[in-house]
Amino acid sequence: MEQSTGVRLAKRMVELGLCSRREADEYIEQGLVKVDGEVVRVLGSRVEPHQHIELTRPATPLADVPVTLLYHRKPGDGGQWRTLLNVDTRWQDDHDEQVFLPRHLRQLHAFGATDDTCGGLLALTQDRRLLKKLAECEMEFLIAVDAAPALEALKQATVGKLSRQSDRQLRLVMTQPAPGQIAALCAELGAPARSIRCIRIGRLALGKLPDGQWRYLQGWERF
Protein backbone atom coordinates (compact mmCIF):
# COMPACT_ATOMS: atom_id res chain seq x y z
CA MET A 1 0.00 0.00 0.00
CA GLU A 2 1.39 3.39 -0.99
CA GLN A 3 2.32 5.40 2.12
CA SER A 4 3.43 8.71 0.63
CA THR A 5 0.17 9.80 -1.10
CA GLY A 6 -3.53 9.93 -0.36
CA VAL A 7 -5.09 10.69 3.02
CA ARG A 8 -4.62 9.16 6.42
CA LEU A 9 -6.51 5.93 6.87
CA ALA A 10 -8.09 7.11 10.13
CA LYS A 11 -9.36 10.29 8.48
CA ARG A 12 -10.79 8.34 5.56
CA MET A 13 -12.64 6.00 7.95
CA VAL A 14 -14.28 9.02 9.58
CA GLU A 15 -15.21 10.43 6.16
CA LEU A 16 -16.89 7.13 5.28
CA GLY A 17 -18.87 7.22 8.53
CA LEU A 18 -17.32 4.01 9.85
CA CYS A 19 -16.40 5.46 13.24
CA SER A 20 -15.00 8.45 15.12
CA ARG A 21 -11.36 9.50 14.78
CA ARG A 22 -10.42 8.06 18.18
CA GLU A 23 -12.21 4.82 17.40
CA ALA A 24 -10.37 4.63 14.06
CA ASP A 25 -6.98 4.66 15.76
CA GLU A 26 -8.10 1.97 18.21
CA TYR A 27 -9.51 -0.25 15.46
CA ILE A 28 -6.32 0.08 13.42
CA GLU A 29 -4.17 -0.87 16.43
CA GLN A 30 -6.43 -3.85 17.10
CA GLY A 31 -5.91 -5.13 13.55
CA LEU A 32 -9.62 -4.80 12.74
CA VAL A 33 -9.22 -2.65 9.61
CA LYS A 34 -8.65 -3.97 6.11
CA VAL A 35 -7.65 -1.94 3.07
CA ASP A 36 -8.30 -3.78 -0.18
CA GLY A 37 -8.51 -7.00 1.82
CA GLU A 38 -5.20 -6.48 3.68
CA VAL A 39 -5.06 -5.86 7.43
CA VAL A 40 -3.40 -2.55 8.29
CA ARG A 41 -2.09 -1.99 11.84
CA VAL A 42 0.19 1.02 11.36
CA LEU A 43 -1.18 4.34 12.59
CA GLY A 44 -0.62 7.07 10.02
CA SER A 45 -1.01 4.73 7.05
CA ARG A 46 -2.37 6.52 3.97
CA VAL A 47 -4.95 5.41 1.43
CA GLU A 48 -6.30 6.54 -1.94
CA PRO A 49 -10.00 7.46 -2.37
CA HIS A 50 -10.66 4.43 -4.58
CA GLN A 51 -9.38 1.88 -2.06
CA HIS A 52 -11.89 -0.29 -0.21
CA ILE A 53 -11.87 0.04 3.60
CA GLU A 54 -13.73 -2.28 5.95
CA LEU A 55 -13.91 -3.30 9.60
CA THR A 56 -13.30 -7.05 9.78
CA ARG A 57 -15.78 -7.50 12.63
CA PRO A 58 -17.90 -5.33 14.93
CA ALA A 59 -15.61 -3.65 17.43
CA THR A 60 -16.18 -2.03 20.79
CA PRO A 61 -13.79 0.81 21.64
CA LEU A 62 -11.56 -0.10 24.56
CA ALA A 63 -11.61 2.20 27.53
CA ASP A 64 -8.38 4.08 27.94
CA VAL A 65 -7.53 2.38 31.23
CA PRO A 66 -4.08 1.44 32.56
CA VAL A 67 -2.98 -2.17 32.17
CA THR A 68 -0.66 -4.45 34.12
CA LEU A 69 1.39 -7.21 32.49
CA LEU A 70 3.18 -10.20 34.00
CA TYR A 71 6.26 -11.30 32.06
CA HIS A 72 8.59 -14.28 32.51
CA ARG A 73 11.83 -12.49 31.81
CA LYS A 74 15.02 -14.10 30.63
CA PRO A 75 18.18 -12.80 32.36
CA GLY A 76 20.72 -10.88 30.33
CA ASP A 77 18.34 -9.24 27.86
CA GLY A 78 20.02 -5.90 28.37
CA GLY A 79 16.83 -4.33 29.64
CA GLN A 80 15.28 -4.55 26.17
CA TRP A 81 12.16 -6.39 27.36
CA ARG A 82 9.87 -3.84 25.69
CA THR A 83 10.99 -5.09 22.29
CA LEU A 84 10.09 -8.66 23.35
CA LEU A 85 6.50 -7.93 24.34
CA ASN A 86 4.17 -8.36 21.38
CA VAL A 87 1.28 -10.44 20.08
CA ASP A 88 3.57 -13.37 19.28
CA THR A 89 5.04 -13.64 22.80
CA ARG A 90 1.69 -13.37 24.58
CA TRP A 91 0.96 -16.62 26.45
CA GLN A 92 -1.59 -18.69 24.57
CA ASP A 93 -3.26 -19.57 27.88
CA ASP A 94 -3.87 -15.91 28.70
CA HIS A 95 -7.66 -15.89 28.63
CA ASP A 96 -8.03 -12.19 29.38
CA GLU A 97 -10.24 -10.58 26.73
CA GLN A 98 -7.97 -7.54 26.51
CA VAL A 99 -6.76 -6.91 22.96
CA PHE A 100 -3.05 -6.12 22.83
CA LEU A 101 -2.34 -2.55 21.75
CA PRO A 102 1.08 -0.89 21.28
CA ARG A 103 0.09 1.78 23.80
CA HIS A 104 0.09 -0.90 26.50
CA LEU A 105 3.89 -0.74 26.41
CA ARG A 106 4.04 2.96 27.21
CA GLN A 107 4.86 4.42 30.63
CA LEU A 108 5.37 1.04 32.27
CA HIS A 109 6.84 0.77 35.77
CA ALA A 110 8.75 -2.47 36.45
CA PHE A 111 8.96 -4.57 39.64
CA GLY A 112 10.41 -7.98 40.46
CA ALA A 113 13.04 -9.27 38.05
CA THR A 114 14.21 -5.77 37.13
CA ASP A 115 17.96 -6.36 37.37
CA ASP A 116 19.63 -7.51 34.15
CA THR A 117 21.19 -10.45 36.01
CA CYS A 118 17.78 -11.61 37.22
CA GLY A 119 15.19 -13.71 35.43
CA GLY A 120 11.70 -14.78 36.39
CA LEU A 121 8.62 -12.75 37.21
CA LEU A 122 8.54 -9.13 36.07
CA ALA A 123 5.43 -7.07 36.82
CA LEU A 124 4.89 -4.13 34.46
CA THR A 125 2.16 -1.64 35.21
CA GLN A 126 0.72 1.63 33.94
CA ASP A 127 -1.55 1.80 36.98
CA ARG A 128 -0.21 4.45 39.34
CA ARG A 129 -2.49 3.14 42.08
CA LEU A 130 -0.34 -0.01 42.19
CA LEU A 131 3.06 1.66 42.46
CA LYS A 132 3.15 2.01 46.26
CA LYS A 133 1.73 -1.48 46.73
CA LEU A 134 4.32 -3.07 44.45
CA ALA A 135 7.17 -1.10 46.01
CA GLU A 136 6.20 -2.52 49.40
CA CYS A 137 5.38 -6.06 48.22
CA GLU A 138 7.29 -9.03 49.58
CA MET A 139 9.19 -10.63 46.70
CA GLU A 140 10.71 -14.10 46.60
CA PHE A 141 13.93 -14.96 44.78
CA LEU A 142 15.71 -18.27 44.23
CA ILE A 143 19.48 -17.96 43.92
CA ALA A 144 21.69 -20.68 42.46
CA VAL A 145 25.20 -20.85 43.97
CA ASP A 146 28.10 -23.31 43.79
CA ALA A 147 27.97 -23.92 47.54
CA ALA A 148 25.43 -22.48 49.97
CA PRO A 149 26.91 -20.80 53.07
CA ALA A 150 26.31 -22.26 56.51
CA LEU A 151 23.16 -21.24 58.36
CA GLU A 152 25.11 -19.06 60.77
CA ALA A 153 26.54 -17.08 57.86
CA LEU A 154 23.08 -16.58 56.38
CA LYS A 155 21.91 -15.00 59.60
CA GLN A 156 24.40 -12.21 58.97
CA ALA A 157 22.58 -11.10 55.83
CA THR A 158 21.85 -7.39 56.07
CA VAL A 159 18.71 -7.39 53.92
CA GLY A 160 15.64 -9.58 53.66
CA LYS A 161 15.17 -13.12 54.90
CA LEU A 162 17.81 -15.46 53.50
CA SER A 163 17.62 -19.23 53.88
CA ARG A 164 19.01 -22.44 52.35
CA GLN A 165 16.86 -24.41 49.95
CA SER A 166 19.61 -26.92 49.21
CA ASP A 167 23.40 -27.12 49.09
CA ARG A 168 23.30 -25.10 45.87
CA GLN A 169 20.26 -22.89 46.21
CA LEU A 170 19.29 -20.00 48.46
CA ARG A 171 15.89 -18.38 49.00
CA LEU A 172 15.65 -14.65 49.59
CA VAL A 173 12.48 -12.80 50.58
CA MET A 174 12.60 -9.00 50.50
CA THR A 175 10.96 -5.91 49.04
CA GLN A 176 12.09 -4.59 45.66
CA PRO A 177 15.91 -4.93 45.54
CA ALA A 178 18.12 -2.20 44.16
CA PRO A 179 20.11 -3.00 41.00
CA GLY A 180 22.95 -5.39 41.84
CA GLN A 181 21.89 -5.69 45.49
CA ILE A 182 21.25 -9.45 45.47
CA ALA A 183 24.48 -10.26 43.63
CA ALA A 184 26.42 -8.05 46.06
CA LEU A 185 24.82 -9.77 49.06
CA CYS A 186 25.84 -13.20 47.77
CA ALA A 187 29.36 -12.01 47.06
CA GLU A 188 29.67 -10.71 50.64
CA LEU A 189 28.71 -14.17 51.89
CA GLY A 190 31.37 -15.81 49.74
CA ALA A 191 28.81 -17.50 47.52
CA PRO A 192 28.60 -15.65 44.18
CA ALA A 193 25.22 -15.99 42.50
CA ARG A 194 25.18 -18.17 39.39
CA SER A 195 21.58 -17.23 38.62
CA ILE A 196 18.80 -15.23 40.28
CA ARG A 197 15.12 -15.84 39.63
CA CYS A 198 12.08 -13.99 40.96
CA ILE A 199 9.26 -16.49 41.54
CA ARG A 200 6.74 -14.39 43.47
CA ILE A 201 5.58 -10.81 43.91
CA GLY A 202 3.18 -10.42 46.82
CA ARG A 203 0.50 -13.08 46.41
CA LEU A 204 1.18 -13.69 42.71
CA ALA A 205 3.57 -16.48 41.73
CA LEU A 206 5.34 -17.06 38.42
CA GLY A 207 3.36 -20.28 38.09
CA LYS A 208 3.13 -21.88 34.65
CA LEU A 209 3.90 -18.72 32.68
CA PRO A 210 6.47 -19.92 30.10
CA ASP A 211 9.93 -18.45 29.79
CA GLY A 212 9.91 -15.42 27.48
CA GLN A 213 6.11 -15.03 27.46
CA TRP A 214 3.69 -12.62 29.12
CA ARG A 215 0.05 -12.21 30.09
CA TYR A 216 -2.32 -9.55 31.37
CA LEU A 217 -3.10 -9.28 35.07
CA GLN A 218 -6.61 -10.64 35.57
CA GLY A 219 -9.23 -8.33 37.07
CA TRP A 220 -9.63 -10.54 40.14
CA GLU A 221 -5.90 -10.94 40.86
CA ARG A 222 -4.23 -8.99 43.67
CA PHE A 223 -0.57 -8.58 44.57
The CATH number linked to 17 is 3.10.290.10
Show the low-confidence residues of the chain (pLDDT under 70).
1-4, 57-64
| Residue 189, in any domain of the structure | yes
Distance CA 212, CA 223 (A): 21
Beta-carbon count within 10 A of 181 CB: 16
| Residue 60, in any domain of the structure | no
120 and 191 inside one domain: yes
49 and 97 inside one domain: no
**Residue 81, pLDDT score:** 83
**Residue 2, pLDDT score:** 45
Distance CA 48, CA 125 (A): 39
199 and 129 inside one domain: yes
| Residue 190, in any domain of the structure | yes
Domain assignment of residue 93, given as a range: 68-216
167 and 210 inside one domain: yes
| Residue 87, in any domain of the structure | yes
Distance CA 73, CA 116 (A): 10
150 and 186 inside one domain: yes
Tally of structural domains, the chain = 2
| Residue 1, in any domain of the structure | no
| Residue 40, in any domain of the structure | yes
| Residue 199, in any domain of the structure | yes
Ramachandran angles phi, psi of 117, nearest 5° = -85, -5
Distance CA 98, CA 180 (A): 35
**Full-model pTM:** 0.73
CATH of the domain at 87: 3.30.2350.10
The average confidence (pLDDT) of the chain is: 89
29 and 139 inside one domain: no
**Residue 28, pLDDT score:** 87
**Residue 40, pLDDT score:** 92
12 and 78 inside one domain: no
H-helix or E-strand containing 33?
strand 33-35
Distance CA 10, CA 97 (A): 24
| Residue 207, in any domain of the structure | yes
3-state secondary structure of 27: helix
